Amino acid sequence: MGSEPKILTESESDAVPALYGMVDHVAITMDGNGRWARKRNRPRTFGHRRGAQVAFDIVKYAERLGVKVVTLYAFSYENWQRSAEEVGFLMEILLPETIKKASKYAEESNIRINVIGELDPLPKGVRNQVEEAIRRTENNTGMVLNFAISYSGRREILAAVEAIVQARLDGRLTGPVTDEDAFAAYLQTVGLPDPDLHIRCGGVNRLSNFMLWQMAYTELYAPDILWPDFTEADFDDAVRHFMKQPRKYGKVHEE
């Protein structure tokens, strides 16, 4: 669940960088690329390319400020239903470019790349590239850059249940799985802390099948900003919002 932050006073809320140690994991849904492009009479691919650059800038900023994990919702399992033109651009051009750039930065900056989602539907070349980036950075000890690609929260939970059943059939699991940590060990995010903060741009306040188990107690922040317009200052605003929330986990917050 993460550590419980102190509640900021108004004067303290300006000193965001000094308080980032309380935010271990930030999950980001990069919404609004298509709307941003449409407002400029450009194709959706133009917005996606701009959004990828913003993502890279925000990841670098978060890493400098000491955030331990950043998860980017890059492509949902449901996104396969989009037009062949858009999916083709994302899979054949933008994703390979992004993984190459992220891998180079990760190797230079001691960042570990991780991926959650179902990689089998990806083009073989892209899948190999993703797996190579994971392998080349697996021993890095800095921030974890976690990409959600071809990802579905519901399918992840179903896969975990299937793995538990198979483990029981194989005799590797004998007792009941009634503990949350024991169940989480079968999820793709095993070893990562649950997100403290979820940022979803574009004024859309829903999870859209993103880490449904992991975000049970995550603070949700939905600014009315399209992702290609998101800045470091906006990231700071999101953290200020997080730091001002009493995280009770069902308990009574003591004033």
Let me know if 196 is a catalytic residue. Answer: no
Active-site position among 24, 31, 194, 196:
31
Let me know if 31 is a catalytic residue. Answer: yes
Joined together, the tokens standing for residue 238 give 């999101």
The count of other CB atoms within 10 Å of the CB of residue 27 is 25
Active-site position among 24, 41, 57, 79:
79
Which amino acid does the sequence have at 33? N
Task: Determine the Cα–Cα distance for residues 186 and 196; give it in Å rounded to an integer.
Answer: 20
Catalytic positions: 31, 79
